[in-house]
């Protein structure tokens, strides 16, 4: 009996020893950091991963994340620096840097998220309240996010938390302002289009005026050159006619008379009252032909003209048909 009781006692002691050893050992994962508590009071912080010891039973261990955690803020309506309303949906990335201060101020991660939301929204209001919509949508957006992160970190120092990044996921106009903004944007685009059209019309008018001026100059120069060439041609023609008339005056007189007959006797509606012996019909006169055959001196010919000759009151002759 005594031996059996001794074995039971040894077994109990061994089980108790194993329990105490198991309770004294704890492991810290590389993604975690541990806070050792003794009767609820923090004793030490373990940040390095690995196997660690604590007092069994009287000491407990709480684990906190070392990785970067995410927080999505609820959409909030803000007033920008240019008095425009904007609905902003933002998110933040943070890391617990001091587990002891985090537990003393926030307690748990769930409780901390409830305190992080108003801090992030307050930083958004402060920074974006001094910013216009154009700056928010421009390349300066990164600098704005950096200012929001700095202001958030300044307020989170007592919590032992560092905000790594703050970003705006979406920025929309309120539904009641969207139509008005679209109308304003449309009117601005129309105004810019009208300005461009007016500038284009002005440039086109200048081009047309310059082209018209150049056209007028070219036509005037061409007309001048044409008149010069026409004058030179007329002078050469007169000179040729004069030289031809000088070589055979009688033939020239005959040729001019034929031209006068052609111009004067073509119209069927005109009658001429002339003497048969008039100078106009001298080439139709037999006397003139007889004199030409007998070698008599020809009657001097007057230059043929298209105007009517003087009318002889003693004779009346119809124009030959």
Q: Enumerate domains of the chain plus CATH numbers.
A: 17-65 (no CATH), 69-172 (3.30.479.30), 248-321 (no CATH)
Between residues 137 and 112, the one the model is more confident about: 112
pLDDT of residue 178: 66
The radius of gyration computed from the CA coordinates of the chain, to the nearest angstrom, equals 61
Question: If you average pLDDT over residues 214-237, what whole number do you get?
Answer: 93
C-alpha to C-alpha distance for 111 and 103, rounded to whole angstroms: 10
Question: If you average pLDDT over residues 247-256, what whole number do you get?
Answer: 79
Asked if residue 240 lies in contact with residue 252, where contact means CB atoms within 8 angstroms, the answer is no
pLDDT tens, residue by residue, 137-160: 787 788 888 999 999 999 998 898
Between residues 286 and 249, the one the model is more confident about: 249
pLDDT of residue 306: 37
- Please, which pLDDT band fits residue 50 given cuts at 50, 70 and 90? confident
Q: Provide the b/e sequence for 119-146 (b: ≥16 CB within 10 Å).
A: bbbebbeebbeebebebbeeeeeeebbe
pLDDT of residue 293: 40
- Please, which pLDDT band fits residue 311 given cuts at 50, 70 and 90? very low
Question: If you average pLDDT over residues 265-284, what whole number do you get?
Answer: 71
C-alpha to C-alpha distance for 313 and 315, rounded to whole angstroms: 6
152: Cβ contacts below 8 Å, ≥ 6 apart? 92, 119, 120, 123, 163, 166
Between residues 174 and 233, the one the model is more confident about: 233
Query: How distant is the alpha carbon of residue 215 from its chain centre?
Result: 35
For residue 129, is pLDDT > 80?
Answer: yes
C-alpha to C-alpha distance for 257 and 302, rounded to whole angstroms: 9
pLDDT of residue 321: 36
* β-strand partners of 88: 76, 171
Question: If you average pLDDT over residues 186-213, what whole number do you get?
Answer: 93
Q: Is the pTM of this model over 0.75?
A: no
For residue 204, is pLDDT > 50?
Answer: yes
271 DSSP assignment: -
Asked if residue 83 lies in contact with residue 19, where contact means CB atoms within 8 angstroms, the answer is no
Q: How far is CA 65 from CA 28, 30, 50, 112, 163, in A?
A: 11, 9, 15, 13, 14
For residue 74, is pLDDT > 70?
Answer: yes
φ/ψ (deg, to 5) at 265: -105, 20
C-alpha to C-alpha distance for 215 and 207, rounded to whole angstroms: 12
């Amino acid at each position: 009996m005594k031996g059996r009781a001794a074995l039971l006692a040894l077994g109990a002691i061994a089980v108790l020893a194993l329990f105490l050893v198991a309770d004294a050992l704890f492991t810290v994962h590389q993604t975690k950091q541990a806070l050792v508590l003794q009767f609820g009071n923090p004793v030490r912080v373990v940040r390095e991963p690995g196997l660690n010891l604590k007092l069994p039973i009287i000491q407990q261990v709480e684990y906190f994340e070392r990785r970067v955690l995410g927080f999505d803020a609820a959409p909030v309506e803000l007033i920008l620096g240019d008095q425009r309303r904007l609905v902003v949906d933002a998110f933040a990335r943070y890391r617990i840097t001091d587990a002891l201060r985090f537990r003393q101020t926030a307690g748990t991660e769930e409780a901390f998220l409830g305190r992080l939301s108003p801090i992030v929204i307050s930083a958004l209001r402060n920074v974006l309240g001094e910013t216009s919509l154009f700056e928010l949508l421009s390349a300066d957006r990164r600098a704005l996010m950096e200012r929001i992160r700095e202001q958030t970190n300044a307020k989170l120092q007592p919590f032992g938390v560092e905000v790594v990044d703050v970003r705006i996921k979406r920025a929309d106009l309120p539904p009641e302002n969207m139509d008005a903004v679209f109308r304003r944007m449309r009117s601005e685009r129309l105004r810019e289009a009208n300005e461009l059209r007016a500038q284009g019309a002005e440039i086109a008018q200048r081009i047309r005026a310059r082209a018209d001026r150049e056209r007028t100059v070219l036509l005037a120069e061409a007309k001048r050159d044409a008149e010069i060439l026409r004058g030179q041609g007329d002078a050469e023609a007169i000179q040729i006619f004069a030289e031809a008339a000088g070589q055979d005056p009688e033939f020239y007189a005959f040729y001019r008379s034929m031209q006068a007959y052609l111009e004067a006797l073509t119209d069927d509606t005109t009658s001429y009252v002339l003497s048969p012996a008039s100078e106009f019909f001298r080439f139709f006169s037999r006397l003139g032909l007889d004199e030409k055959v007998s070698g008599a001196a020809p009657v001097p010919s007057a230059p043929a003209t298209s105007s009517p000759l003087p009318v002889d009151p003693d004779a009346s002759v119809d124009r030959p048909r």
